């Protein structure tokens, strides 16, 4: 859906193939393109037909749709094999190369590099501007985070691994982040001098959960990491935000159903903040946020005020008191793709 600055609807577009029982489509990412159009990245389990011209390979295919500035489809492509395949991130490079990342479980056929064992693999594909594959890479493990660097390489975060893939598809380096426990890389950010910051959380059900932040240089060498702290990081939405001056880095942790914030300047990490009951970083994730409806974790019988900030520093009231249940829900205003508006729910009293 395209919206005007006043929130009124300007244009709406929907895309689907020939349905079968239990089949459908979903988009996980939307990116503006240099030509004024948009790149929609996700998955499809329908046959070709109606709005879908690309083939159906297996249970779930990675699916990409390119549209013009008004939402009219230019082309669509399916990627995958006989099993589960999904593309969750999409990027356009200056030379018009398109890069998609997600996961594959397929054992062969279709367009994917076959998995020899049927396990889940990280999957990254590069295509020309019309979706024809130029190269693809597969690495063991589910992908939880992916960014494009300023030099147009890619950093992938998965179960226990942090990997850099060059813009030509070669693997620059891969680092195993496991210690005594298995971990996942929940979120990644690049700092201005090409350092990489990763938010890491444990996934081992036997040992107590912990979280920490780790900083790597451009070659993948560990520069520093924060002390491990108990608790989980939230698994939806970005966990790290870098401001426009690359001078402040922020991360979010979740403990006792409360979001807490830490702030970094250079390599100095401040303590986790108190007093913020809930925190949300909106992004295009319809399966998590339901369009413009955002969910903030709350506690029953508590009262919250929703506040908004463009930069995580200057907070202004956004709504009157909201009575919390297990979740505090509110409607966020329409925003352009890439707009970084932040919301938090501050505890103000008892119901």
> Rounded CA gap, 43 and 63, in Å?
5
**Regarding beta strands 258-265 and 154-158, do their DSSP bridges make them parallel or antiparallel, or are they unpaired?**
unpaired
Going by pLDDT thresholds of 50, 70 and 90, the confidence category of residue 151 is very high
Domains of the chain, first to last: 2-275 (2.130.10), 276-351 (no CATH)
H-helix or E-strand spanning residue 125 = strand 121-127
Q: Is 31 helix (H, G, I), strand (E, B) or coil?
A: strand
Beta-strand runs (E) in 33-72: 38-44, 61-67
Token pair recorded at residue 47: 């046959």
With tokens 């395949």, the residue in question is 85
State whether the Cα torsion 101-105-109-113 is positive or negative. Answer: positive
The residue among 153 and 83 whose pLDDT is bigger is 153
H-helix or E-strand spanning residue 287 = helix 286-289
151 neighbors 193 (Cβ within 8 angstroms):
no
> Rounded CA gap, 177 and 181, in Å?
9
For position 61, what pLDDT does the model report? Answer: 86
Q: C-alpha distances in angstroms, 309 versus 22, 254, 313, 316, 330? A: 40, 20, 7, 6, 15
Residues in the chain: 351
45 neighbors 79 (Cβ within 8 angstroms):
no
pLDDT tens-place string over residues 246-262? 555 555 554 444 445 56
For position 321, what pLDDT does the model report? Answer: 62
26 neighbors 62 (Cβ within 8 angstroms):
no
> Rounded CA gap, 4 and 149, in Å?
31
Residues forming a β-bridge with 317: 307
Q: What is the pTM of this model?
A: 0.71
For position 5, what pLDDT does the model report? Answer: 40
Residues forming a β-bridge with 229: 211
Going by pLDDT thresholds of 50, 70 and 90, the confidence category of residue 191 is confident
297 neighbors 328 (Cβ within 8 angstroms):
yes
pLDDT tens-place string over residues 44-72? 877 666 677 777 777 888 889 998 888 88
With tokens 């508590």, the residue in question is 302
> Rounded CA gap, 33 and 41, in Å?
13
234 neighbors 260 (Cβ within 8 angstroms):
no
How many other CB atoms sit within 10 Å of the CB of residue 264? 20
Going by pLDDT thresholds of 50, 70 and 90, the confidence category of residue 242 is low
113 neighbors 136 (Cβ within 8 angstroms):
yes
The residue among 269 and 326 whose pLDDT is bigger is 269
């Amino acid at each position: 859906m395209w919206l005007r600055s006043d929130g009124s609807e300007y244009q709406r577009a929907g895309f689907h193939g020939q349905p079968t029982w239990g089949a459908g489509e979903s988009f996980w990412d939307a990116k503006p393109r240099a030509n004024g159009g948009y790149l929609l990245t996700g998955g499809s389990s329908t046959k070709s037909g109606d709005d879908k011209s690309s083939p159906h390979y297996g249970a779930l295919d990675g699916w990409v749709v390119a549209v013009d500035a008004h939402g009219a489809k230019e082309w669509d492509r399916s990627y995958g094999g006989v099993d589960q395949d999904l593309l969750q991130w999409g990027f356009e490079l200056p030379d018009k190369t398109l890069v998609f990342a997600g996961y594959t479980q397929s054992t062969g056929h279709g367009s994917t590099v076959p998995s020899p064992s049927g396990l889940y693999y990280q999957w990254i594909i590069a295509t020309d501007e019309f979706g024809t594959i130029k190269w693809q890479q597969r690495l063991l493990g589910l992908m939880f985070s992916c960014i494009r660097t300023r030099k147009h390489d890619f950093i992938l975060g998965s179960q226990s691994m942090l990997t850099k893939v060059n813009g030509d598809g070669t693997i620059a380096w891969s680092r195993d982040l496991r210690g005594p426990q298995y971990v996942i890389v929940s979120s990644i950010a690049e700092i201005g001098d090409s350092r990489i910051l990763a938010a890491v959380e444990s996934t081992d059900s036997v040992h107590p959960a912990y979280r920490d932040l780790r900083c790597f240089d451009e070659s993948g060498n560990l520069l520093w990491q924060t002390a491990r702290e108990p608790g989980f990081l939230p698994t939806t939405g970005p966990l790290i935000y870098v401001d426009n001056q690359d001078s402040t880095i922020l991360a979010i942790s979740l403990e006792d159903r409360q979001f807490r914030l830490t702030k970094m300047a250079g390599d100095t990490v401040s303590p986790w903040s108190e007093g913020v009951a809930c925190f949300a970083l909106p992004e295009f994730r319809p399966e998590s946020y339901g369009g413009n409806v955002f969910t903030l974790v709350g506690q029953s019988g508590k009262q919250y005020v929703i506040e908004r900030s463009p930069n995580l520093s200057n907070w202004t009231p956004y709504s009157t008191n909201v009575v919390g249940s297990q979740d505090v829900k509110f409607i966020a205003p329409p925003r352009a793709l890439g707009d970084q508006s932040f919301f938090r729910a501050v505890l103000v009293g008892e119901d």
